[in-house]
Amino acid sequence: MTNLLHSEAEMPVALNQPLSVLTRRPPRSEAYTNGSSSSNGVGDYRSNGHSRILENRESPSRNPWQPFLIGVAGGTASGKTSVCHKIMCKLGQDCLPHPERRVVTISSDSFYRVLTEDERQRARLGEFNFDHPDALDFQLILDTMNALLDSQVARIPVYDFVTHTRLPNEYIHVYPADVILFEGILVFYFPELRNLFKLKLFVDMDADTRLARRVIRDLKERGRELNSTIHQYTLFVKPAFEEFCQPTKKYADVIIPRGAENDVAINLIVQHIKEHLLPMASENGSPRRSMQDDSNQPLTNGVHKMGENGLNGHDEAERLTNGLARAERSTNGRYA
Ligand SMILES: Nc1ncnc2c1ncn2[C@@H]1O[C@H](COP(=O)(O)OP(=O)(O)O)[C@@H](O)[C@H]1O
Ligand SMILES: O=c1ccn([C@@H]2O[C@H](COP(=O)(O)O)[C@@H](O)[C@H]2O)c(=O)[nH]1
């Protein structure tokens, strides 16, 4: 994930499943998840942050309105960040102030756990396994996702790839939104997290291209040396991809070959998101619902045309699935 994505992570997300449950968004709570207030940033989050969320719930049961949570998995440098960014741009969300965004992107990169001094030293030499599920603060991920699903404002740490640490006292505030894209190499690995996703995307890119892009990115953006990058890749990244990430491809509803270059797949996903957002916008009538498409046409225009075709939510879901299956078949043998 790039720093750019980190800033995108501030956007809120959410679009949920059956259109029939997409009623009115509840009032936004001012509660926060507490990304970190202790020295290791984990224990306090779990105890204080989570209990604050519970205290601020308006009722013991989950809101009938929920964000639509989309998981975006794929190997390192496969283009997960770029795909999410493209979706945001096509929905006209990237240029909106964060609190007004209806679609947000969050990366699991924000949730690497706090390392011990010994682990940090190994990380500097490319000898710490960041691709193993244990490298992530899974409880923090789960608490954050649950907070967002409950329409809470979530506060998540900012991770620094150069020092392998969370930046002290820096957080990203993620506001409740209608659609949340959560991207990361292992987001389909944990069943408890995987089961929260209403749509699962897997960004597929051949290993050579990923390695080449990763080397360039790590040297340019993550303060790495060539030797340690290759060393880390050979020792951990590649084997962990084969053991923990690649096998989760089977959970995907949609596989996106060629990553962000695949405009056909991305356009279909964007269209699907728009279909979910429109009913909410018309029910809310809220001024913050200002989604626009690429051509700066109000979102409502495009969706209205689709409504005129007499398609319902189920038809749309089928059309999306069929369309994406076609998109993938057309590239079979090259990347899939
Ligand atoms: N289609 C592309 N062509 C060239 N470079 C790309 C393309 N897609 C992504 N990249 C570059 O590859 C690197 C990894 O992409 P990114 O979207 O951050 O992947 P991920 O989030 O899966 O790690 C970034 O430096 C990005 O700029
Ligand atoms: O301190 C760190 C933390 C993570 N990594 C590597 O990052 C990638 C995951 O990020 P992508 O944006 O999906 O590539 C993972 O493969 C880790 O090895 C790191 O090098 N250092």
pLDDT for residue 276: 79
Q: Does 144 have pLDDT greater than 90?
A: yes
Paired tokens of 82:
């770029």
pLDDT for residue 277: 78
Contact status, residue 22 vs residue 274, Cβ threshold 8 Å? no
Task: Please give the model's pTM, rounded to 2 decimal places.
Answer: 0.75
Among the atoms of ligand 2, which is closest to the Cα of residue 109?
10
Least confident of 1-5, 68-72, 105-109: 1-5
Distance CA 93, CA 291 (A): 7
Q: Mean of the pLDDT values across residues 238-265?
A: 98
Q: Does 34 have pLDDT greater than 50?
A: no
Q: Whose CA is nearest to atom 20 of ligand 1?
A: 77
Among the atoms of ligand 2, which is closest to the Cα of residue 224?
20
Contact status, residue 103 vs residue 181, Cβ threshold 8 Å? yes
Q: Mean of the pLDDT values across residues 79-101?
A: 94
Tell me the CA distances in angstroms from 268 to 12, 87, 248, 256, 318, one per residue in order. Answer: 21, 10, 22, 11, 12
DSSP assignment letter at 24: P
The mean pLDDT value of the chain amounts to 73
pLDDT for residue 302: 21
pLDDT for residue 48: 26
pLDDT for residue 322: 41
Ligand 1 center–CA 84 separation, angstroms: 11
Q: Does 111 have pLDDT greater than 80?
A: yes
Distance CA 49, CA 36 (A): 8
Q: Does 98 have pLDDT greater than 60?
A: yes
Among the atoms of ligand 2, which is closest to the Cα of residue 240?
16
Residue 283: band (very low, low, confident or very high) from pLDDT cuts 50, 70, 90: low
Q: Does 304 have pLDDT greater than 90?
A: no
Longest dimension (CA), the chain: 62
163-183 pLDDT, tens digit each = 999 999 999 999 989 999 999
Tell me the CA distances in angstroms from 205 to 74, 85, 313, one per residue in order. Answer: 8, 17, 31
Q: Does 52 have pLDDT greater than 60?
A: no
Burial (CB count <10 Å: 0-12, 13-18, 19+), residue 135? buried
pLDDT for residue 100: 87
Distance CA 300, CA 225 (A): 49
* % of the chain exceeding 90 in pLDDT: 60
Comparing CA positions, the residue from 42, 189, 43, 169 lying closest to residue 111 is 42
pLDDT for residue 281: 57
Paired tokens of 285:
């009538």
Q: Mean of the pLDDT values across residues 79-83?
A: 98
103-107/254-257 β-pairing: unpaired
pLDDT for residue 236: 98
pLDDT for residue 42: 24
Ligand 1 center–CA 79 separation, angstroms: 5
| CA dihedral of 108, 111, 116, 120, whole degrees rounded to 10 | 40
Q: Whose CA is nearest to atom 25 of ligand 1?
A: 217
pLDDT for residue 63: 55
Closest listed ligand to the CA of 4 = 1
Q: Mean of the pLDDT values across residues 24-34?
A: 41
189-240 pLDDT, tens digit each = 999 999 999 999 999 999 999 999 999 999 999 999 999 999 999 999 999 9
Paired tokens of 71:
């998981």
| CA dihedral of 69, 35, 79, 5, whole degrees rounded to 10 | 110
Residues 6+ apart with CB under 8 A from 251: 188, 194, 200, 202
Distance CA 69, CA 67 (A): 6
68-74/199-204 β-pairing: parallel
Distance CA 204, CA 210 (A): 10
| Ligand 1 pocket mutation pick from 4, 202, 213 by most atoms within 8 angstroms of CB | 213
Distance CA 123, CA 138 (A): 20
Comparing CA positions, the residue from 285, 303, 304, 299 lying closest to residue 24 is 285
Instruction: For residue 279, count other CB atoms closer than 10 A to its CB.
Output: 16
Q: Does 96 have pLDDT greater than 70?
A: yes
Q: Mean of the pLDDT values across residues 33-62?
A: 31
| CATH architecture of the domain with range 45-262 | 3-Layer(aba) Sandwich (3.40)
Distance CA 129, CA 171 (A): 25
Q: Which residues line ligand 1 (CB under 6 A)?
A: 1-2, 74, 76-82, 213, 217, 259-261
Q: Does 120 have pLDDT greater than 70?
A: yes
Please list the residues that pair with 204 across neighbouring strands. Answer: 257
